[in-house]
């Protein structure tokens, strides 16, 4: 190993995210660490992530404190070679050999970070982050996890960033281990493979020199012979108490004392930006219809009598109807894009990634079932339950939280009938399902009490007109009212 100090910079952890909040250090200055050992927990706009070290050696300096927001590409940790004695941190000095001595100037850090972000971030599978290889020096002690800082709950949604035609090489040179290029992968790729039971040894990397890319692992996950095998992630740190009151701070407009000031950052910052973009760019319209769900409830009750332990939930059946409806009305499973030159196009997809809103301790998140159109109601139910579990643990991957093409929102669990939902940008439509309650309903000319719910569809009027939106909504409603016949045709 080189005798020079290694400076590891905060990597792009997926989907082109530009910053992350440092939740907790897992090591301290003086610790002996090995390659791929987790060194810190950070929270991005997507999820909680453990960042592994790309180097073995002695921790020389930690560049940041818990609760601090760090930019991608800025120094995260400095590591001295194995056997070296870490020196006391020095004040930054503008010298030509600053990097080689382990001291990074502010100007260098900013320039390197900007280069890193420009060349590395991409949201369609081309994220190229060279760090982390098998093996390494003998492991040293690991500090116990400290209490976490406050986490603001929200619905993590981020628009994919346009991917370059080919992965770029130069910016990753400082984060790779010499001689190990073909085995080097990002921690996001490594975690994705581990969570889905994919062997990295069996993957031929499509990147330069055989580098394994995120798209390579995604292809292995979606392959029929490589079923997902989710791991049991460690329990996410508990949220800290609410922000303390700003004692003595009076609001000039109301004259009232300010009880708390909550910084908008991390997940909430990403959500605010995404929702604002949705409302600003999408000319949305809404259609809704009341639906008699009695037959669907009766059918599920009968199935439950026959098979009590693996009967799909109502949301899984509705999800099955939605995927069938999107095949008939594909305009709602698209994306509206505007090019840098002002040109516009509607992008269609060969497949459906069905997102669904899930309430967690961190707020409302939207994981997505990939290739949902290929799954039965029972398979959809299993995947919805799996994704809900990992989302609530804060361990859902950026791909699981940011790859949807259409969103299904069951807000009926909150006891409401309808909602004027904000479309999950950059998607073009969202279907909401209200609570199911007893209502008077006319059946065969006679009044009776039925189980009724309300379906609400918000859609982007740029991609289709009301006839298409109404046709899709009516199709899903008819499936709910006649589930046996609908499933027989699917």
Q: Is the pLDDT of residue 244 over 80?
A: no
Gap between the Cα atoms of 265 and 327, Å rounded = 38
Task: Output the 3-class SS for the chain.
Answer: CCCCCEEEECCCCCCCCCEEEEEEECCCCCCEECCCCEEEEEECCCCEEEEECCCCEEEEEECCCCCCEEECCCEEEEEECCCCCCCCCCCCCCCCCCCCCCCCCHHHHHHHHHHHHHHHCCCCCCCCCCCCCCCCCCCCCCCCCCCCCCCCCCCCCCCCCCCCCCCCCHHHHHHCCCCCHHHCCCHHHHHHHHHCCCCHHHCCCCCHHHCCCHHHHHHHHHCCCCCCCCCCCCCCCCCCCCCCCCCCCECCCCCCECCCCCCCCHHHHHHHHHHHHHHHHCCEEEEEEEEECHHHHHHHHHHHHHCCCCCCCHHHHHHHHHHHHHHHCHHHCEEEEECCCCCEEEEECCCCCEEECEEECCEEECCEECCHHHCCHHHHHHHHHHHHHHHHCCCCCHHHHHCCCEEEECHHHHCCCCCCCCCCCCCCEEEEECCCEEEEEEECCEEEEEEEEEEEEEEECCCCCHHHHHHHHHHHHHHHHCHHHHHHCC
d(CA 325, CA 219): 26
Q: Evaluate if residue 234 carries a pLDDT over 60.
A: no
Task: Give the catalytic positions in this structure.
Answer: 461
Cis amide linkage into residue 426, ω under 30° from 0:
yes
Indicate if the pLDDT at residue 407 is higher than 90: yes
Q: Are 57 and 6 in contact, with CB atoms under 8 Å apart?
A: yes
pTM to 2 decimal places: 0.59
Domains and CATH numbers, the chain: 6-190+207-213 (2.40.50.100), 282-488 (3.30.559.10)
Give the phi and the psi of residue 27 in degrees, each rounded to 5.
-135, 170
pLDDT digits (tens, 9 = 90+) for 420-435: 889 999 999 999 999 9
Return the minimum-mean-pLDDT range out of 71-85, 199-213, 265-279. Answer: 199-213
User: What is residue 102's predicted lDDT score, i.e. its pLDDT?
Assistant: 42
- Which of 191, 166, 184, 70 is closest to 129 using CA atoms? 184
Least confident of 314-318, 397-401, 410-414, 455-459: 397-401
**At 132, phi and psi to the nearest 5?**
90, 115
Q: Which residues of 100-113 are buried (b: 16+ CB within 10 A; e: fewer)?
A: eebbbeeebbeebb
Q: Determine the Cα–Cα distance for residues 155 and 274; give it in Å rounded to an integer.
A: 10
Q: What are phi and psi of 454, to 5 degrees?
A: -115, 130
Residue 58 banded pLDDT, cuts 50, 70, 90? very high
Q: Which tens digits make up the pLDDT trace of 154-197? A: 334 444 444 444 333 333 333 333 333 334 456 667 777 777 77
Flag whether pLDDT at 341 surpasses 50. yes
State the sign of the Cα–Cα–Cα–Cα dihedral 14, 20, 24, 28. positive
Give me the residue label for tokens 């991608």.
72
Mean pLDDT of 356-365: 80
The pair of three-digit structure tokens given for residue 190, joined into one six-digit string: 């490594």
406: Cα separation from own chain's centroid? 15
| Cα(143)–Cα(42) distance, integer angstroms | 16
Neighbour-count burial of 85, counting CB atoms closer than 10 A to its CB (0-12 exposed, 13-18 middle, 19+ buried): exposed
Residue 483 in tokens: 């589930």
Residue with tokens 């309650």, as numbered in its chain: 437
- The rounded distance, in Å, linking the Cα atoms of 342 and 348 is 19
Mean predicted confidence (pLDDT) in 62-71: 87
Cα–Cα distance for residue pair 237/60, rounded to 1 Å: 26
Cβ-contact 132, 177 below 8 angstroms:
no
Q: Are 216 and 205 in contact (CB under 8 A)?
A: yes
The structure tokens listed for 52 are 């592994």
Q: How does the average pLDDT of the chain come out, rounded?
A: 77
pLDDT at 396: 85
Confidence tier at 125 by pLDDT (50, 70, 90): very low
Could you tell me the two tokens for 243?
């922000």
Residue matched to tokens 């909680």: 48
Question: pLDDT tens digits for 126-162?
Answer: 332 333 333 333 344 444 444 443 433 433 444 444 4
């Amino acid at each position: 190993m080189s005798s020079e100090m290694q400076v590891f910079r905060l990597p792009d952890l997926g989907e082109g995210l530009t910053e992350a909040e440092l939740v907790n250090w897992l090591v301290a200055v003086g610790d002996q660490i090995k390659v791929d050992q987790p060194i810190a927990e950070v929270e991005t706009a997507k999820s909680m992530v453990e960042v592994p070290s790309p180097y073995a050696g002695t921790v020389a300096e930690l560049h940041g404190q818990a609760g601090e927001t760090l930019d991608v590409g800025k120094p995260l940790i400095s590591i001295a070679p194995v056997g070296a004695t870490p020196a006391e941190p020095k004040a930054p000095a503008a010298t030509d050999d600053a990097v080689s001595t382990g001291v990074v100037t502010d100007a260098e850090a900013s320039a390197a970070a900007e280069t890193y972000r420009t060349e590395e971030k991409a949201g369609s599978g081309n994220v190229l982050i060279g760090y982390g290889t098998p093996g390494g020096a003998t492991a040293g002690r690991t500090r116990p996890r400290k209490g976490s800082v406050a986490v603001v709950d929200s619905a993590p949604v981020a628009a994919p960033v346009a991917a370059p035609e080919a992965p770029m090489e130069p910016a990753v040179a400082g984060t790779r281990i010499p001689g190990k290029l073909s085995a080097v992968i990002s921690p996001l790729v490594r975690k994705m493979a581990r969570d889905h039971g994919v062997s990295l040894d069996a993957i031929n990397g499509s990147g330069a020199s055989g580098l394994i890319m995120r798209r390579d692992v995604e292809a292995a996950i979606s392959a029929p012979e490589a079923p997902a095998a989710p791991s049991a992630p460690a329990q996410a740190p508990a949220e800290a108490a609410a922000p303390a009151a700003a004692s003595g701070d009076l609001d000039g407009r109301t004259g009232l004392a300010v009880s708390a000031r909550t910084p908008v950052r991390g997940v909430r910052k990403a959500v605010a930006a995404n929702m604002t973009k949705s409302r600003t760019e999408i000319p949305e319209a809404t259609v809704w219809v009341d639906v008699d769900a009695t037959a669907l409830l009766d059918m599920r009750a009968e199935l439950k009598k026959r098979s009590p332990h693996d009967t799909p939930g109502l949301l899984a059946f509705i999800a099955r109807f939605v995927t069938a409806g999107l095949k008939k009305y594909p305009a709602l499973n698209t994306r509206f894009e505007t090019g840098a030159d002002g040109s516009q196009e509607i992008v269609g997809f060969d497949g459906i990634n069905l997102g669904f809103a899930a309430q967690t301790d961190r707020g409302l998140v939207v994981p997505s079932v990939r290739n949902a159109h290929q799954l039965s109601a029972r398979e959809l139910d299993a995947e919805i339950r799996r994704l809900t579990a990992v989302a609530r643990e804060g361990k859902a991957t950026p791909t699981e939280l940011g790859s949807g093409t259409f969103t299904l929102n069951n807000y009926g669990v909150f006891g409401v009938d309808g909602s004027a939902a904000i479309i999950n940008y950059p998607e073009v439509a969202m279907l909401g399902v209200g609570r199911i309650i007893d209502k008077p309903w006319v059946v065969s000319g006679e009044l009776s009490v039925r189980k009724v719910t309300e379906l609400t569809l918000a859609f982007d009027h740029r991609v289709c007109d009301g006839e298409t939106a109404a046709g899709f909504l009516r199709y899903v409603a008819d499936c709910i009212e006649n589930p046996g016949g609908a499933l027989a045709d699917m």
